[in-house]
Amino acid sequence: MNAPDHVATLLDRPEAQARSVDDLVAWPLIRRLIAFDTTSRDSNLALLDWVRDYLAGHGIPSSYTFDDERRKANLWATLPAKDGNATEGGIVLSGHTDVVPVDGQPWDTDPFAATVRGDRVHGRGVTDMKSFSATGLALVPEFLRRGLKHPVHFALSYDEEVGCIGVRRLIADIVARGVRPMGCIVGEPTGMELVLAHKGKKAWRCRVRGHEAHSSLTPRGVNAVQIACEIVAYVAERARGFRDAGRRDEAYDVPYTTAHVGTIRGGTALNIVPRDCSFDFELRHLPFDDPDAFVDDVKAFAARFLPGMHAVSAATFIEFDALSAMPGMDTHDGSEIARIAHRCNGHAGVGKVSFGTEAALFQGADIATVICGPGHIEQAHQPNEWASLDQLARCEAFLRRLADHVCVA
Ligand SMILES: [Zn+2]
């Protein structure tokens, strides 16, 4: 798939510049995809059906893998090579279709209407991560017109934002069908820099059951909120330990393992010793830090409260539920997909990031994977989420150079 003779001309080509959205081939598709409210809790089928019809218009069939309720699905579609090959080698362009909620966020524009302001495009999903998928889809006519040496696959998933749930079924399905891509590019926002590694992540819920009492009689109760807060404080203390004394990898934007508590719920009224409290916490870990050893320490810390709790009521407890787990990923810089992606982004830099992606799951299926997409993670999940015209133009230039690699003409 490499074409060393192309390299010089590729790198000589001036970087595409977009002075307005109308310079972007992908603009109509970006606008269309953002207009679908695909918040993770809702169905993504309207978006998928639109993409299926769009691809069918170019003679490309799509297949879906559904969730249990058939409310959501992944879409898989293959542009076959000129010789008819649709299974061996080739590159997967991967993007999730779901977006995080806009509830309670102060937006200045309609989040589901892509809106240009100055040199920025605002909209939910414009950076995380509909623009990458839209740009890949916009170039389908060009891929087909030029003819492909190797297949190009589209993988559009559901429920990424709630734990990379959907894509697992898509990957299982293509493995079962004997599709063996050479590599995969996940278009999560990296500022169009090439990312070859990211941290792993594990999340848990801690549930503390205390014992209710009138607040004038605190010794007769077990205060679930206070015990939960002691455990929260232990998580925070361990997080400081990772920061101050843990092993580091300076290639990451945050070069150490992090832990944090994201939500907590407990108590009903100030004059009642609270019976229940629960909180969710997570660890985003470097490959050499063991998430299970961490949670074992948290459990051991929590266990010290149990004798005192049981002395008041045998019904009290502290329990931990595993919520989600994402392995880390680390793709070799010398792999073919990394070398191709390096050339496609004009060797614009390489890094490691702290956020998890579906890349780890493709990697787990022996599909070498890199991450490279427009926009920056700092703008993802925010009110007024945006990507710059420059980033969107760079994404288009990246995928055009990819076409130079995979196309015959
Ligand atoms: Zn994302």
Structure confidence by residue, pLDDT tens digits, 27-60: 999 999 999 999 999 999 999 999 999 999 999 9
Q: Is the pLDDT reported for residue 186 higher than 50?
A: yes
How far away, in angstroms, is 209 Cα from ligand 1 center? 35
Mean pLDDT of the chain: 92
The secondary structure of residue 23, as a DSSP letter, is G
Query: What spacing in Å lies between the alpha carbon of 389 and ligand 1's midpoint?
Result: 19
44 CA distance to ligand 1 centroid (A)? Answer: 15
Sequence letter at residue 237: E
> Which tens digits make up the pLDDT trace of 342-372?
999 887 778 888 888 899 999 989 999 999 9
Task: Determine the distance separating the centroid of ligand 1 and the alpha carbon of 357, expressed in angstroms.
Answer: 7
Q: How far is the CA of 379 from the centre of ligand 1 (A)?
A: 11
List Cβ neighbours of 242 (8 Å cut-off, separation of 6 or more). Answer: 256, 257, 258, 259, 289
Beta strands, E only, 232-389: 258-266, 272-273, 276-285, 317-326, 329-330, 350-353, 368-371, 386-388
Q: What pLDDT, on a 0 to 100 scale, did the predictor assign at position 15?
A: 54
User: pLDDT higher for 278 or 357?
Assistant: 278
Distance 199 CA to ligand 1 centre (A): 15
How far is the C-alpha of 403 from the C-alpha of 144, rounded, in Å?
10
**Cα 247 to ligand 1 centroid, rounded to whole Å:** 27
Mean pLDDT along residues 6-24: 59
Residues with Cβ–ion distance below 5 A, ligand 1? 128-129, 188
Residue 186 CA, ligand 1 centroid: distance in Å: 9
**Residue 101 alpha carbon to ligand 1 centre in Å:** 13
**CA of residue 195 to ligand 1 center, whole Å:** 14
Ligand 1 center from residue 135 Cα (angstroms): 16
pLDDT reported for residue 2: 32
Q: Which of 29, 13, 162, 182 is nearest to 101 (CA)?
A: 162
Which strand ranges, in their side-by-side order, compose the sheet holding 276-285? 258-266, 276-285, 200-209, 317-326
Tokens of 185: 């590019």
> Among the residues of 276-380, which ranges form H helices?
291-303, 306-312, 336-344, 359-364
The Å distance, Cα 393 to ligand 1 centre, comes to 19
Which H/E stretch holds residue 208? Answer: strand 200-209
Per-residue model confidence (pLDDT) at position 311: 98
- The pair of structure tokens assigned to 38 is 């695909």
Task: Name which of 181, 182, 227 is nearest 206 in CA terms.
Answer: 227
Higher pLDDT, 243 or 14: 243
Which stretches of 20-84 are DSSP H helices? 27-35, 45-56
